Structure 1
Amino acid sequence: MNIFGIGLPEIIVILILGLLIFGPKRLPQLGKTIGKTLKGIQTASKEFESEINKTLQLNENDD
């Protein structure tokens, strides 16, 4: 298993550190917030790519 270049042992260490630092009550809330942030970044990236493609198509049609 390899997610973002991080293997399973590294993921386990990160989860244990997160549990120790934030505690079991805040960890799910933190995960939810990180998930929403990543989803927002992904959506913004797709919109940006779409706008660039539209601009490139308009420039090709003008030539």
Structure 2
Amino acid sequence: MLTNIGVPGLVLFVILALIIFGPNKLPQIGKAAGESLKEFKNSTRDLTQDVTAETSEVKSMMKEEK
């Protein structure tokens, strides 16, 4: 869905954002969005590491039983 926006759609989106939020508020919104994405990425990485560790532990337990 978002892949069909193109450059004109992106320009229109930026212009609408400037009209709605104003030029002073956009950097704050961008910073908050960036921090949110960074936190999501870190949480996803931690979750992936936990699952990998659990999987390795189960595999090692299975090998010990054999």
- Asked if TM exceeds 0.5, the reply is yes
Root mean square deviation, CA, Å: 1.4
**Pairwise CA distance, 1:53:** 0.3
Greater radius of gyration (CA): 2
Q: Which has the bigger relative contact order, CA under 8 A and spacing at least 6?
A: 2
Runs of 4+ more than 2 Å apart: 4-11
TM-score (norm 1): 0.83
SS at match of 2:57: helix
The residue type equivalent to 2:53 in the other structure is: K
Q: Does 1:38 align with 2:37?
A: yes
Gaps of 5+ in 1: none
Residues of 2 paired with 1:12 and 1:38: CA distance? 22
Corresponding residue for 2:58? 59
Structure 2: state its 5+ residue gaps: none
- Name the structure where strand makes up a greater proportion of residues: 1
- 1:9 and 1:53 mapped to 2: Cα distance? 43
My pick for the range that moved more, 38-47 or 7-16, is 7-16
Separation (CA, whole Å) in 2 of partners of 1:39 and 1:11: 23
Which residue of 1 is the match for residue 20 of structure 2? 21
The alignment-based identity, stated in percent, is 30
Query: Structure 2 length as normaliser, TM-score?
Result: 0.80
